[in-house]
Homo-oligomer: A and B are copies of this chain.
Amino acid sequence: MAARRAASTTADAGDNPVGPGSGPHAPTARTSGPAGPGTRAPNIRSQVSLALREALIIGRIQPGRSVTLRGLAEELGTSPMPVREAIRGLAAENALDVSVSGRVAVPRMTDRKFGEILDARMLLEPQVAVLALPFLGKADVRRLQALDDEIDASLGNGDVEAYMRLNHAFHFAIYEAAGSEVLLPLVESVWLQFGPFMRMVYGRVGTRMLVDHHKQAIAAIGARDAAALRAAIRADIAEGMQLIGEGIGAAGTT
């Protein structure tokens, strides 16, 4: 990350898409060493899984990109073993695609799958937001406003990756307040599935014409208006996904 990555146009190979920006051979798998006494030294698998999840949600890995055990292991400075389990977990969430021969890749988008994702988001996310509403206080409203300001800034300077990360943070700052053990993982699974595609489309068409409904959502939360919050989330999903959906024909099944 020190030096910005050279633009690579090859679709199926290239430099490391995952990893928080540190060098490829940085000892990410650090369990020993002077970790904080409060931190319980999470296992390597969790770190791999987290890195992969973020890479998918941010869209740092392109759809169709193949993910190899040994490659990812070397990239993260560990053995293939934790990667295997992490990949297995992501595959169970349909965030990664395992072919019949066992090869693992980021799934490509299809128009029907896109429609299903839109359906799932429209069903789940407004409901989760409404469930979260009673738990959202003034501090949360301020935090959401700050996030939305950052989002506007990222849209202004065309930083797609920052937008992806911040948009996810905004939505899940709302959803997580519900403390949902069942619904939230379902929403996460859906986001993992459309993240890479969303990123690819934004990378091509840009984020300039993107209109979100975050301010309406913030206002609804501040007013404790469940109906307005539901409507804002619905509108946000509908408009955002419509913009992305237009990219399917151009870039979807490539």
Contact = CB atoms under 8 A, between A and B. Distances in A.
Interface of A: 40, 43, 45, 84-86, 88-94, 100, 102, 112-113, 116-117, 119-120, 123-124, 127, 131, 180-183, 185-186, 189-190, 193
Nearest to A40: B100
A119 B123 contact: no
A187 to B, nearest CB: 9
Contacts of A100: 40
Contacts of A113: 181-182
Interface of A is mostly: helix
Nearest to A181: B113
Nearest to A42: B100
Contacts of A182: 94, 113, 116-117, 119-120, 190, 193
B88 A120 contact: no
Contact of A183 (B40, B90, B116): B116
A14 B185 CA distance: 31
B94 A181 contact: yes
Contact of A116 (B91, B181, B193): B181
23 contacts: A43-B102, A84-B85, A85-B88, A86-B88, A88-B88, A88-B89, A88-B92, A92-B92, A92-B93, A93-B93, A94-B181, A94-B185, A112-B181, A113-B182, A116-B181, A116-B182, A117-B182, A119-B127, A119-B182, A119-B183, A123-B127, A185-B189, A186-B186
